[in-house]
């Protein structure tokens, strides 16, 4: 009973959430379910009346009028169903778009350290996989809700039209078979058999639903595999790799294995349904029909009710038994679907644990900011490894700080902490002497412009990518692109900053190289005009000439901003004021290039001469 109540609460919660995503959709579905259920009963009831009028010799005018009323009612119901179907078809895409947006919005609002966990990625993957599998989750509830409500109203209408069969007058003096059939006791026997039929078919349908639900869960892994394969193929490099490495057979064999798995699941479900649902339920339903026809037919012969009512009662009872068993089956399906829907609700209701802060970030005209790492240590969630350990250093606005070190030494982690994508496990990060956790979270983010290694560009216009908005200053966009050394390519674009990147949405969109993409990302950081600009391997995809231009123009590009420059190429760090050398999660050296390279026992000296030797050997060759 407790589980039943929980399921009902989840139904209500799902309906309320759908209503919040698309106002009116639930009401439209309820009305559509009512009219769909009502439609066959109009003909059942009116046809019985017309038959009785014909048999009793009623005036043809009245019979014709009754037929006209039937046609009119049918027309009204058909029109209402068509209108409701139209309005639902208009509103449903709104719900589906808002439903998708709710997940994307939650990802953008969720604490980054929560998003960037294996558990969250698995949860998202489950949601997407279940959605691909028969629209599981909230979409499945929205589609199934009218069916559930329709079955309920079918039961109500069928009971209303069948009640007279069991409570009308029973003749006292009967002979032959009628003496045993047309009695209140036989009516109770029929009701008992109806109850048994409902219980039996519902049990069979429930058993099949549970079996098929478990089987269909296996689709999750298969869908995950095929989706990953499709995603790889859709990447721009996908078709090239297929041809160069002759991967056609590998892909085909993989799809064939997935297809075999799907066929096995479908075969198992079909076999189980025939053996445990279709055959036994058909036998019980056939027996039910025989008993009903006998009871109704003999009752009509002895004068309990009119001949026309026979079809009314029998059709209504059959509708009743079918609706009850289908109601149980649909309810069981939705109960299973609740488990999927709960995953979605758990995701969008994930609380924020990062302190949001209330202090405004001081807007200084002189941009005199100072950042200090004070004994900062950090572990990524659910790990025992220290990504950073006892990091201490400070720098002021206007300085150029280079951050160098081997892969995995903690450079990018330090940037994520400074931007407050994560909070330190130990220690403090201070902005002008105040713990950054005390500042307003969104306002603190506004003082940083960052070009990460794995930045994203979208298939929007060039200007929208630079401004990260649909509203932008055209001249400022052009200036940012010029400063990022994208000017020559911009002049070649017929539509200028209104040119679409890629061809996802526009056939005349342009394909850009990795180096050009990196320049656009740099222009985006410059357009924001934040006091801090952070460049994580900003020239990794640039050719040597473009890289040299970025280095030579670096000071003019950055202006009076504080620049933090992460790079593996130590030669690019010479123009920076100071250099922080990371090794195994700690800052092992901090100073100018000349100071660090002079320390023969230091890590920087080791890295510098290793790279210098490499370039010397290359030059000699």
**Residue 228 placed within a domain:** yes
Q: What is the mean pLDDT of the chain?
A: 81
Q: Flag the least confident range among 98-112, 547-561, 564-578, 600-614.
A: 547-561
**Residue 56 placed within a domain:** no
- CATH classification of the domain holding 402: 3.40.50.300
pLDDT score for 541 = 56
pLDDT tens-digit map of 451-475: 887 788 888 899 998 998 888 899 9
Q: Which two tokens stand for residue 282?
A: 């058909």
Question: What helix, strand, coil percent values describe the chain, rounded to 5?
Answer: 65, 10, 25
Pair 129, 237 in one domain: yes
Of 510, 528, 546, the residue at which a domain comes to its end is: 528
**Residue 478 placed within a domain:** yes
Pair 399, 272 in one domain: no
**Residue 99 placed within a domain:** no
Answer whether residue 354 shows pLDDT above 80. Answer: no
Of 483, 505, 528, the residue at which a domain comes to its end is: 528
**Residue 3 placed within a domain:** no
Pair 290, 343 in one domain: yes
Answer whether residue 149 shows pLDDT above 90. Answer: yes
Contact of 418 with 371, CB cutoff 8 Å: yes
Q: Which two tokens stand for residue 286?
A: 């056939």
Name the more confident of 221 and 453: 453
Pair 214, 308 in one domain: yes
Mean pLDDT of 2-7: 84
**Residue 32 placed within a domain:** no
Answer whether residue 51 shows pLDDT above 90. Answer: no
Pair 158, 222 in one domain: yes
Answer whether residue 577 shows pLDDT above 70. Answer: yes
Answer whether residue 363 shows pLDDT above 90. Answer: no
pLDDT tens-digit map of 562-576: 888 887 777 777 778
Distance CA 52, CA 46 (A): 10
Mean pLDDT of 578-582: 89
Name the more confident of 279 and 152: 152
Pair 420, 538 in one domain: yes
Of 495, 513, 528, the residue at which a domain comes to its end is: 528
Residue 621 — pLDDT band, cuts 50, 70, 90?
A: very low
Answer whether residue 620 shows pLDDT above 50. Answer: no
Pair 521, 534 in one domain: no
Pair 519, 534 in one domain: no
**Residue 206 placed within a domain:** yes
Distance CA 23, CA 567 (A): 52
Mean pLDDT of 143-159: 91
Contact of 492 with 550, CB cutoff 8 Å: no
Full residue range of the structural domain in which residue 517 is found:
457-528
pLDDT score for 535 = 83
**C-alpha separations of 441 from 5, 321, 429, 436 in Å:** 40, 59, 14, 9
Name the more confident of 71 and 357: 71
Pair 254, 377 in one domain: no
pLDDT tens-digit map of 60-85: 888 899 999 999 999 999 999 999 99
pLDDT tens-digit map of 325-343: 788 778 888 888 888 899 8
Check the CA dihedral 453-459-464-468 and report its sign.
negative
Pair 370, 337 in one domain: no
**Residue 577 placed within a domain:** yes
pLDDT score for 246 = 62
Pair 546, 524 in one domain: no
Q: Torsion over CA of 564, 565, 570 and 571, rounded to 10 degrees?
A: -110
Contacts of 598 (CB under 8 A, 6+ apart): 605
pLDDT score for 617 = 45
pLDDT score for 73 = 93
Q: Which residue, 182, 210, 202, is CA-closest to 297?
A: 182
Number of independent structural domains in the chain:
3
Check the CA dihedral 573-576-579-583 and report its sign.
negative
Q: Which two tokens stand for residue 33?
A: 């379910």
Pair 318, 371 in one domain: no
């Amino acid at each position: 009973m407790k589980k039943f109540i929980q399921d009902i609460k989840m139904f209500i919660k799902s309906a309320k959430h759908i209503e919040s995503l698309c106002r009116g959709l639930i009401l439209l579905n309820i009305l559509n379910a009512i009219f769909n259920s009502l439609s066959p009963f109009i003909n059942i009831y009116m046809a019985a009346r017309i038959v009785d009028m014909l048999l009793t010799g009623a005036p043809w005018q009245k019979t014709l009028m009754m037929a006209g009323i039937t046609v009119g009612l049918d027309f009204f119901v058909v029109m209402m169903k068509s209108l409701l179907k139209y309005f639902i078809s208009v509103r449903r895409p709104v719900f589906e778009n808002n439903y998708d947006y709710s997940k994307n919005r939650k990802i953008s609002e969720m604490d980054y350290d929560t998003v960037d966990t294996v558990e969250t990625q698995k949860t998202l993957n489950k949601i997407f996989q279940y959605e691909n599998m028969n629209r599981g989750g909230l979409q499945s509830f929205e589609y199934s809700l009218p069916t559930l409500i329709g079955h309920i109203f079918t039961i109500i209408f069928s009971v209303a039209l069948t009640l007279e069969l069991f409570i009308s007058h029973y003749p006292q003096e009967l002979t032959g078979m009628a003496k045993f059939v047309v009695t209140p006791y036989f009516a109770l026997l029929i009701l008992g058999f109806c109850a048994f039929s409902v219980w039996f078919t519902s049990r069979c349908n429930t058993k099949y639903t549970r079996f098929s639900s478990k089987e269909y869960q296996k689709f999750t892994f298969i869908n995950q595999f095929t989706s990953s394969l499709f995603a790889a193929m859709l990447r721009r490099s996908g078709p090239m790799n297929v041809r160069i490495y002759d991967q056609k057979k590998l892909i085909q064999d993989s799809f064939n294995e997935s297809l075999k798995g799907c066929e096995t699941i479908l075969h198992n479900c079909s076999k189980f349904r025939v053996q445990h649902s279709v055959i036994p339920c058909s036998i019980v339903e056939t027996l039910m029909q025989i008993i009903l026809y006998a009871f109704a037919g003999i009752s009509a012969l002895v004068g309990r009710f009119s001949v026309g009512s026979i079809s009314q009662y029998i059709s209504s009872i059959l509708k009743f038994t079918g609706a009850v068993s289908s109601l149980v089956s649909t309810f069981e399906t939705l109960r299973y679907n609740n488990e999927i829907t709960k995953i979605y609700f758990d995701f969008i209701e994930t609380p924020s644990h990062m302190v949001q802060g209330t202090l405004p970030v001081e807007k200084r005209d002189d941009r005199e900011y100072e950042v200090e790492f004070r004994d900062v240590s950090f572990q990524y969630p659910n790990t025992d490894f220290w990504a950073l350990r006892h990091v201490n250093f400070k720098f002021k606005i206007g300085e150029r700080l280079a951050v160098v070190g081997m892969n995995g030494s903690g450079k990018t982690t330090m940037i994520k902490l400074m931007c407050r994508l994560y909070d330190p496990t130990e220690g403090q990060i201070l902005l002008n002497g105040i713990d950054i956790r005390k500042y307003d979270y969104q306002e603190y983010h506004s003082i940083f412009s960052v070009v990460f290694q794995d930045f994203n560009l979208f298939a929007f216009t060039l200007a929208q990518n630079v401004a990260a908005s649909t509203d932008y200053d055209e001249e400022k966009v052009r200036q940012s692109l010029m400063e990022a050394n994208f000017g020559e390519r911009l002049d070649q674009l017929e539509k200028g900053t209104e040119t679409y990147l890629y061809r996802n949405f526009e056939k005349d969109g342009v394909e850009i190289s990795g180096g050009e993409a990196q320049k656009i990302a740099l222009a985006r950081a410059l357009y924001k005009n934040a006091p801090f600009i952070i460049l994580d391997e900003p020239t990794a995809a640039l050719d040597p000439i473009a890289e040299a231009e970025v280095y030579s123009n670096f000071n003019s590009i950055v202006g009076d901003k504080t620049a933090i420059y992460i790079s593996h190429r130590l030669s690019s760090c010479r123009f920076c004021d100071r250099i922080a050398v990371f090794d195994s999660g700690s800052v092992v050296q901090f100073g100018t290039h000349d100071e660090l390279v002079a320390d023969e026992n230091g890590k920087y000296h080791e890295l510098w001469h290793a790279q210098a030797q490499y370039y010397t050997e290359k030059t000699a060759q």
